[in-house]
Each structure stands twice: as structure tokens, then as C-alpha cells.
Chain A
């Protein structure tokens, strides 16, 4: 196995909220929210 030269360096975890993490979550969150909203609107017919 080839590993990066720094793979044995101490690993420090970034906080959950960061610029790249926000962009990443928006990338998947926006289409998911759209799909959920479409399904929710459809589901409302049951309560009419």
C-alpha cells in the first residue's frame, strides 16, 4: 500500500462546520429538500 508521506502525522479533526463542508452539504441538501418538498405537497392530498 502506498500512503502519503504525511499519513503518520498527528491527525486533527476539523470542526463539523466549515466552508467546504457547508458547500458539500448544500450540494446534496438542495436537491434532497426539493424532492422532499415535492413529495410533501403530494402527500397533502391525503389530508384534504
Chain B
């Protein structure tokens, strides 16, 4: 014990009387910070006009939107890869060390990125925010998941929903924070971006320390007061444990991989097109002079979708504790297929209010898909290495991050080449996404309990990730 670091798992085991409701805020401190990644687009125009100084008139040597967009893509790919690679390490060393690594990478990524911006060297920006920061995203995203599941065996969906809701909320904080800071620093550096990166890096590094130093894991024999595990047999909730290495050998893992892939791919279809979709579908030409949706209203629509993305993460994940994970995903896919197929009809019929309501429900289920998957994995594979298994499953997210925009842009460009406009230019996107959801529905329906041959033999301990 004398040789133990304060960061070691053994030093984070909670003593008697520890209040488990302190754990979700620790998780939120990490997710609210790293969720900033989804607000990266706030830097697009300033980063694209560092030389010219005018966001509307970039200089020839300014970075192009494509060059800047690669930064975010690298970060999301690294999120999936690092979650997959470092998952077992996280299970072994515990959440505190992982959260500190995440904070150092994420905050440090901003600082390296600021140097890249100052020197106008995009490779340094890619390395800092994209590569180093992306590793921080991946480790941070999975760092509290298995801990929360162990603290809340009676409410796994509620607990993971709270944390992953924070990832959605992080963009809501990161976007106005960045805008305010860039406004503050605009006279001291080109577009105020480099100092904004420094300040945000330091803010997030400090903010995440709350999670690092308050996170606790339960003792192996801990149970919530009065908690009696259900004796009612439910084949879809295992009492056994499957290791991460064995989990990826099961069809269940890959079926859930497809479930996450399809849910995220379809959701990106709406998120990617939200602003142009509502403006082009409900334009002045379609609605009448002055009655069309303006750019400001479209930005409001995007904001509304963000709110429902956030709320859906908590609502649907919590509901899954009562409904069951398989039923919850069947709702995501079944209702999703109907709603995606309905969107073009509402567009053609100029039903703006219904269109907005349907889009909000769709996005709530997109968020819900992210938040419910850790509990689904815990039900299927046990809590032993659920963080590592979750990390490996997140490669589906990275894949969807490439696949979703590719489908959307290809179909939309094709429709435009055919001279289609308004709702017609997007209808194939939504019909295709409904088809993608059919695949997800079938994959979800095919999920069955894991065979005994994959179970761990004998008792497992919290630190057994080090096998």
C-alpha cells in the first residue's frame, strides 16, 4: 500500500458510507469538458481567415474549410481508436488515472493546437487538437462508464444516461464559451483563436480535475442499501461475466456494433443537413414571400435539435431501465423508420411544425442510442470489463462519422445534379436512412443471450483487467 500512487485504483476504493450520488458529477465533469469537440465548428470561419482577418474574404494562404474539417475528423477517429485500445488499461488502472490522462491529453491538445494556430502550421493543429486531444476524448468518454454501472446496478441506464448526457451538453458550453473568448481576444491575436485555445485548454484541464479527484470505485462486495438483485430470470440480463477479448468473438458484440453504427449513421443524416434542409424545404419560394425559414431561424432549429439530443440521452436511457434495452432499441429503430420516411412527406406538404417535432424526436433517439448502449453491453456481457467492451464498440461511432456524411453528401449532390430542389433534394437521404435503420432493427432483433462458453470461469476482481 505504501508504494501505491494516489492515482491507483486501490486508492480510489470508497469507504463505508460513501454517497454514490457524488459519482455522476465526477463523470459529468469529464463529459461536459470533452463534449466540447462537437462545438469545434465554431472555430471553422475564424481558423479559415487567420491571414486575411476577414471571415468573409479568406486570403489565398488561409486554411480551407476542408483542411480545417480534417482536424475534427482526426479527433473523432482517435476517439474510437483510443477508446478501443485503452479500454483494458482503464479497467486495470481504474478511472482516476484514466481521467487524469484524458484531462492532460484533452487540455494539452488545445495548448499544442494553439501553437499550431500561432505558427499557422496546420500539421501542429492536427497533432494537437486532433491526435492528442482525440486520445483524450476516447479515454475520457469511457473512463466513468464501468464505474457508474458498478455504483448503480439498480439503475444502469439512469447512471450512464447522466454521464453521456454531459457529452451532449459539452457542446452547448463549448460553443458560447469559444465565441465569448474569441471576442475578448480578437484585438490581441488573429481572430483571437490562439489565445482562446490556450484559455480553453487550461479551463478544461482544471475543470476535469474535479472528476479526477472525486471519482471513487465501490468495494468488490458493495451493494446499494436495500438492493436485492432480481431473482426473476431474465435471459437478456446476464449474471455472468465476459472479458473484452472474448466479447469481440461473440456475434452479440458485432450485432450491437451494427446497432450503434446504424443508429448513429442515420442520426448524422439529420444533423449534417439540419440547417440547409429546413431553409431549402421551407424557403420563401415555397412558403411565400417573407414566410420562409431564415438563416437565424435555421440556427435556432439546430439549437433545438441539440437540446433534444441532450434530453434524449437521459430520457431514453432511463426509460430503458424499465422497458429493457432490446425493446428500447426496437423503439429507436421501429419509430425511427416511420419518422425518417415521414420527413420528406412533411417537407412536400410544408408542415413546418410537424417537421420540427419529428426531427426533435428523431434526434432524441439518436442521443438515446449513445446513452443506452453501455447498459445494453453490461446486460449482455456483465460489468467485469464493460468499459473496455464499450471502448471497442465505439469504433462503430468512428465508422458512422465517416459513413453518415458520405451517404448524405453523395445522395444530396446527386439529387441536385438531377435538378431537384427543396424537400425533393433531400428525400432520398431520408429514405436511405430509413433503410439503414431497417438493418439496425434486424441486428437488434437478432441479439440473443451470450453462450456460456464465453463466460469467465470463477470469480473476477475489479483489477482483473490486467490478466
Contact = CB atoms under 8 A, between A and B. Distances in A.
Interface in A1-43: 1-4, 6-16, 18, 20-21, 24-25, 27-28, 31-32, 34-36, 38-40, 42-43
B210 A27 contact: yes
Nearest to A42: B303
Q: Which 4 A-B pairs give the minimum distances between C-beta atoms?
A: A35-B172, A46-B300, A45-B300, A35-B173
Contact of A45 (B1, B32, B220, B296): B296
A47 B294 CA distance: 11
Interface of B: 1, 4, 8-10, 13, 15-22, 25-26, 28-29, 32, 166, 169-176, 207, 210, 214, 218-225, 293, 296-301, 303-304, 306-307, 310, 356, 461-463
Contacts of B174: 35
Contact-residue bracket for chain A:
35 or more
Contacts of B169: 32, 35-36
B318 to A, nearest CB: 15
Given A12-B225, A45-B299, A46-B300, A28 B307 contact: no
A40 B166 contact: no
A13 B21 CA distance: 10
Interface of A: 1-4, 6-16, 18, 20-21, 24-25, 27-28, 31-32, 34-36, 38-40, 42-48
Nearest to B179: A38
Contacts of A43: 300-301, 303-304, 307
Nearest to B162: A28
Nearest to B295: A45
Contacts of A34: 173, 176
Contacts of A3: 10, 13, 219-220
Contacts of A32: 28, 32, 166, 169, 172-173
A10 B160 CA distance: 26
A12 B19 contact: no
B17 A40 contact: no
Interface residue SS majority, chain A:
helix
B29 A28 contact: yes
Contact of A4 (B15, B210, B223): B15
Given A6-B15, A24-B25, A38-B172, A13 B225 contact: yes
Contact of A6 (B16, B166, B297): B16
A9 B307 contact: no
Contacts of B298: 46
B447 to A, nearest CB: 33
A13 B224 contact: yes
A20 B23 CA distance: 11
Contacts of B10: 1-4
14 contacts: A7-B15, A9-B15, A11-B222, A16-B21, A20-B22, A21-B21, A24-B21, A24-B26, A32-B172, A34-B173, A36-B172, A39-B306, A45-B296, A46-B293
A40 B311 CA distance: 13
A39 B176 CA distance: 9
A12 B303 contact: no
Contact of A14 (B8, B18, B297): B18
